[in-house]
């Protein structure tokens, strides 16, 4: 544990801005003297007390509720003081300043500062201390931020399940099974002279197969959870006047982008996050893709930005105008865009052909892709379902938990190590040391998810994304 983790911390724990209630939180060791200075009395643990919060001269900064939590029975595992005041930013800043001032004052009984070293908390430091003091594991700590940032009801409920420990229980179950298998292999290595075939009698192959199946099950859930958290980035691309802005407005159910018959109306990127069955979709409208005369400098910048968005998309909706299909210049430009899309995008990025203006097309043509009308809404539901299918979404179950991309990658590594371990196990005694190493590496990958094994820089990256009061 780093030296800064021993220092007491203080921060505003509620969101910036004005509100009915704001909270200032202090966490550290032996807060009784600070409590006396701020509240003018001691507090009964875990019981809300209404009182004035005193300034240095004894005058009240505000009146509110004070709560004291004694270690280890607190969120951080340390002594915690929460001051619940009126939610004005100036009031809360005054309370933080008073906490820092009171902490530096000398306690007349001890002749020492009331709370030496009190400082303003860094982002995520309260949750980091909860993790370091074994109140929560790393996956649960991340779920706190995910619950706060959830953009859909499904994501919020899944984050709540992760915070309650559902995801961690799955990981711990995998780890326990892996540890048991490691013990069998290590015993065989330690006692090679024994005639008993430890691995065969203990059904090591069956245990490994069951473990591989369990990992794939959890990996599938984690992929779904990561999709709930991250969503997918969908870029609408195509020639000018194909109806890209109209499609964005139709999907969003609001007039977000300006729609006119003038080519080049959309000059910049317009983005809106919508949800389909709880999955966030970040839909991006881009400038029409074209070249040649009539493209001014501003539109060229918009087209360059459009290609930048396309190259970073999870899926691209290539929008075609059914009313112009068959026109030589239009078909030629569409073919050129199609060639560029497939040459610049990896195979993992889907390009979905969408044929717009079905309501105005003279003849209904059979083409690969989806026919729709952004104006009437015809075909929009089919498009939504195809986007979910392309993203790999399956109907959410009640037991789904939130997950992050790093969790998915860690589980992928576990799966790969177990596949190699399976090959070594088939070779029996010749490769048992390699088998043991693959199982160890698989366990390390599992431990990274919950934090039993993790590097300090990984912790720094995770908790630095939190808000200050968490």
pLDDT digits (tens, 9 = 90+) for 218-247: 998 898 888 888 888 999 999 988 888 888
286 marked as part of a ligand binding site: yes
Q: 456 pLDDT exceeds 90?
A: no
The confidence score (pLDDT) of residue 263 equals: 46
pLDDT digits (tens, 9 = 90+) for 203-221: 889 999 999 999 999 998 8
Query: Which residues 6+ apart lie within 8 Å of 310 measured at CB?
Result: 235, 237, 286, 316, 341, 344, 345
16 marked as part of a ligand binding site: no
Q: 133 pLDDT exceeds 50?
A: yes
Q: 462 pLDDT exceeds 90?
A: no
244 marked as part of a ligand binding site: yes
The lowest-confidence range among 23-27, 366-370, 454-458 is 454-458
Residue 267's pLDDT band, with cuts at 50, 70 and 90, is very low
Tokens representing residue 335 in the block: 């073919």
288 marked as part of a ligand binding site: yes
232 marked as part of a ligand binding site: no
Give buried/exposed letters for 285-294 (b at 16+ CB in 10 A, else e): bbbbbbeeee
328 marked as part of a ligand binding site: no
29 marked as part of a ligand binding site: no
The confidence score (pLDDT) of residue 5 equals: 84
Query: Which residues 6+ apart lie within 8 Å of 6 measured at CB?
Result: none
Q: 114 pLDDT exceeds 70?
A: yes
347 marked as part of a ligand binding site: no
264 marked as part of a ligand binding site: yes
45 marked as part of a ligand binding site: no
111 marked as part of a ligand binding site: no
| Rg of the chain over all Cα atoms, to the nearest angstrom | 29
265 marked as part of a ligand binding site: yes
Q: 257 pLDDT exceeds 60?
A: no
452 marked as part of a ligand binding site: no
Question: What's the rounded mean pLDDT across residues 113-138?
Answer: 93
Q: Could you tell me the sign of the dihedral formed by the alpha carbons of 392, 395, 396, 399, in that order?
A: negative
Contact 247, 354 (CB under 8 A): yes
The confidence score (pLDDT) of residue 272 equals: 84
135 marked as part of a ligand binding site: yes
Q: 348 pLDDT exceeds 60?
A: yes
Alpha helices in 105-193 (DSSP H): 125-132, 138-149, 153-163, 166-190
pLDDT above 70 coverage of the chain, percent? 87
Q: 458 pLDDT exceeds 80?
A: no
260 marked as part of a ligand binding site: yes
pTM: 0.76
Contact 11, 121 (CB under 8 A): yes
The confidence score (pLDDT) of residue 363 equals: 61
Query: Which residues 6+ apart lie within 8 Å of 327 measured at CB?
Result: none
Q: 259 pLDDT exceeds 70?
A: no
Domains of the chain: 3-136 (3.30.1360.120), 156-227+404-451 (1.20.120.430), 231-391 (3.40.50.300)
Query: Measuring CA to CA, which residue among 233, 239, 387 is closest to residue 311?
Result: 233
261 marked as part of a ligand binding site: yes
221 marked as part of a ligand binding site: no
The lowest-confidence range among 84-88, 289-293, 328-332 is 289-293
Q: Give 51 or 198, the one with higher predicted confidence.
A: 51
470 marked as part of a ligand binding site: yes
343 marked as part of a ligand binding site: no
């Amino acid at each position: 544990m780093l030296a800064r983790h021993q220092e007491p911390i203080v921060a505003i724990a509620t969101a910036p801005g004005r509100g009915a209630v704001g909270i200032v939180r202090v966490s550290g060791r032996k807060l009784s003297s600070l409590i006396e200075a701020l509240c003018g009395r001691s507090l009964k643990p875990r019981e809300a007390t209404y009182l004035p919060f005193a300034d240095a001269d004894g005058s009240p900064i505000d009146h509110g509720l004070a709560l004291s939590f004694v270690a280890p029975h607190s969120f951080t595992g340390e002594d915690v003081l929460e001051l619940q005041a009126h939610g004005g930013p100036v009031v809360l800043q005054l309370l933080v300043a008073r906490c820092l001032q009171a902490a530096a004052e000398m306690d007349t009984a001890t002749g020492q500062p009331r709370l030496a070293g009190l400082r303003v908390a860094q982002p995520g430091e309260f949750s980091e201390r909860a993790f370091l003091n074994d109140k929560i594991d790393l996956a649960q700590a991340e779920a706190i931020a995910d619950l706060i940032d959830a953009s859909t009801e499904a994501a919020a409920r899944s984050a709540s399940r992760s915070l309650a420990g559902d995801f961690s229980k799955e990981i711990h179950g995998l780890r326990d099974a892996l540890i048991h298998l490691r013990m069998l292999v290590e015993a065989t290595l330690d006692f090679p002279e024994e005639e008993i075939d430890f691995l065969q009698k203990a059904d090591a192959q069956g245990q490994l197969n069951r473990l591989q199946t369990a990992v794939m099950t959890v990996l599938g859930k984690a992929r779904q959870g990561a999709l709930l958290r991250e969503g997918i980035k969908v870029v609408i691309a195509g020639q000018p006047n194909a109806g890209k802005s109209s499609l964005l407005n139709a999907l969003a159910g609001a007039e977000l982008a300006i729609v006119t018959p003038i080519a080049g109306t959309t000059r910049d990127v317009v983005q809106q996050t919508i949800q389909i069955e709880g999955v966030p979709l970040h839909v991006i409208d881009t400038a029409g893709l074209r070249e040649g005369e009539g493209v001014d400098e501003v539109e060229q910048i918009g087209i360059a930005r459009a290609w930048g968005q396309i190259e970073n998309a999870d899926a691209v909706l290539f929008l075609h105008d059914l009313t112009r299909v068959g026109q030589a210049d239009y078909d030629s430009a569409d073919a050129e865009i199609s060639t560029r899309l497939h040459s610049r995008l990896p195979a993992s990025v889907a390009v979905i052909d969408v044929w717009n203006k079905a309501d105005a097309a003279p003849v209904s043509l059979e083409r690969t892709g989806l026919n729709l009308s952004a104006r009437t809404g015809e075909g929009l539901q089919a498009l939504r379902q195809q986007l979910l299918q392309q993203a790999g979404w399956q109907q959410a179950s009640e037991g789904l938990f939130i997950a992050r991309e790093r969790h998915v990658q860690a589980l992928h590594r576990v799966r790969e190590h177990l596949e190699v371990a399976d090959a070594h196990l088939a070779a029996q005694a010749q490769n048992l040391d390699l088998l043991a190493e693959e199982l160890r590496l698989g366990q390390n990958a599992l431990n990274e998810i919950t934090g039993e094994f993790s590097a300090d820089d990984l912790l720094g990256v995770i908790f630095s994304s939190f808000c200050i009061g968490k």
